[in-house]
A and B are shown apart, each in its own frame.
With several copies, the nearest count.
Chain A
Amino acid sequence: MSATLDQIQTGVQFLSADEAVKKIPKAASIMVGGFGFPGMPRHLSRALVEQTDIDELTLIMNSLGSVSTLNALFEQNRIKKVIGSFFSTNKDLVKAYREGKVEIELLPQGTLTEAIRLGGAGIPAFFTPTAAGTDLAKGKETRVINGREHVLEHSLTADVAIIRAHKADKAGNLVYRKTAQNFNPAMATAAKLTIVEVDEIVEIGELNPDEIMTPFIFVDIVVKREEV
């Protein structure tokens, strides 16, 4: 197993954004990384908006800002449901919701991130104190543990994750920067097909193995961002 650089093949594919989003099945559940601007896969989002035959989508993402590139999906009537923590300020989404075109499932942000992380880790349900005694726990199983009320939450997995990282190496290992990490590393673990857009692709061996945040095993397709 003393493989040399030129012998290493991990199976991670390097495609254009258009080629990558073509792999997304109809009626897919899609996790979308990002917290506001940083870490949002805007390049893949634009390609998804243009690939108009993929519809009946479920989006799993923290929030959808009013200037998100994905807002066009609501105008195009391609979204069935969104699961996340904050959508109040998105006029397109609020309109679609009021017209009964989109279902919204609201989770506290910490429950959302842990549901994704545990979904990727093969743990399907967990008890959290967050939201106990509030409207967001309505209809959910509760249990008193250590003298405190907890809510049973179910973990999340998805057909596809579209995420953003700073660099990938040619094996598919990823590094992120600053507050652009956010939901991306967890989402990479929780989807059947993980597509990542990166600023830069480097040779194998150029990333410090201690600093790789998402090992290639979680990555299926890498797309290099193009200048907008």
Chain B
Amino acid sequence: MSGSVKHYIAWRCAQELQSGVVNLGIGIPTLVADYLPKGLVTLHSENGILGVGPEPDPNEFVVDPESIELVNASGVQPITALPHASYFDSSLSFTIMRGGHLDATVIGALQVSETGDLASWAVPGKDVLGVGGAMDLVIGAKRVIAAMSHLSPKGEPKILPECTYPLTAKNRVDTIVTEYAVFKFREGRMYLVEMVDEISLEQLKEMTPASYEVAEDLKVVKRESIGDPVLV
């Protein structure tokens, strides 16, 4: 997937987020931060901060593992804090997540099923030695936005009748954003609500084995070239 496609997906996710508190997962979701309305959306990071600011200038900031105290959920990437930020321990951080207090999370996905199941952490047949905070994020956030390429790197569909990869959580996805389309779950049914004009409904269906309905108000949009945003 090209950088510009990733940025398009991130930008499109950001359009879903106009206020509130959001946790962004790793991968494409990290890019979403650049497109959020300034000051209206506050970012939470599970390692213990509400009010994540931009990364410090790498030319001015040297990471010393012995003394660094402010990083994002990677555990190693330095960040800054916004003026309204607060810090807390892991228990309170996961109270925010599991307890239903996040307005949304944007999370990368390996597969999503037509019932909103999410697979994002493991691949069958491989050792499963890490899960992190993904399951808590997805179980608790008021909205779960899956940000993903429409097809796998091998060209296989990822939006399926049922996930074949190990689940992160059942029935929790609220919105799927890919480079071709946006799907939303309403009362347990999956709807196509937006697609780009460069493909047909039939082509989309072919790439999307999950059963879904086409929303009455389906929007057909031009995929804009986003490119790297200019950081202010």
Asked if A and B form a direct contact in the complex, defined as CB atoms under 8 angstroms apart, the reply is: yes
The interface of chain A, by Cβ under 8 A from chain B, is 1-11, 35-38, 40, 42, 62-63, 65, 67, 85-89, 93-94, 97-98, 104, 106-111, 113-114, 117, 120-123, 128-136, 166, 169, 171, 173, 176-186, 189, 204-205, 207, 209-210, 212-213, 215-218, 228
The interface of chain B, by Cβ under 8 A from chain A, is 19-21, 33-34, 36, 38-54, 63, 65-66, 68-71, 73-76, 80-102, 122, 127-136, 139-140, 166-170, 231-232
B53 touches A130 (CB 8 A): no
- Residues of chain B within 8 A of A218, CB atoms compared: 101
B75 touches A65 (CB 8 A): yes
CB distance from A62 to the nearest CB of B (A): 8
- Residues of chain B within 8 A of A107, CB atoms compared: 131
CB distance from A211 to the nearest CB of B (A): 9
Residue of A nearest to B166 (CB): A135
B135 touches A134 (CB 8 A): yes
- Residues of chain A within 8 A of B53, CB atoms compared: 1-3
Task: Give Cα A128–Cα B136 distance, bound, in whole angstroms.
Answer: 10
Apart from A2-B80, A86-B131, 8 more pairs, CB < 8 Å: A9-B40, A10-B42, A36-B76, A37-B76, A108-B136, A113-B93, A176-B89, A189-B99
- Decide if the interface of chain A is mainly helix, strand, loop or mixed: loop
| Residue among B20, B86, B97 facing the most chain A CB atoms (10 A cut-off) | B86
Q: Which of B50, B76, B132 sits near A86, CB closer than 8 Å?
A: B132
B95 touches A179 (CB 8 A): no
Pairs A-B, 10 closest by C-beta atoms:
A36-B75, A7-B39, A110-B136, A88-B130, A110-B94, A3-B39, A212-B86, A171-B84, A122-B98, A113-B90
Q: Which of B36, B74, B84, B140 sits near A173, CB closer than 8 Å?
A: B84
Q: Which of A42, A86, A130, A179 sits near B87, CB closer than 8 Å?
A: A179
Given A85-B132, A106-B129, A178-B70, also A173-B86 (CB < 8 A): yes
Given A4-B39, A36-B47, also A183-B133 (CB < 8 A): no
A37 touches B63 (CB 8 A): yes
Given A98-B127, A183-B89, also A38-B68 (CB < 8 A): yes
B130 touches A86 (CB 8 A): yes
Task: Give Cα A108–Cα B167 distance, bound, in whole angstroms.
Answer: 13
Task: Give Cα A81–Cα B138 distance, bound, in whole angstroms.
Answer: 28
Residue of B nearest to A190 (CB): B99
Residue of B nearest to A117 (CB): B91
- Residues of chain B within 8 A of A121, CB atoms compared: 91, 94-95, 98-99
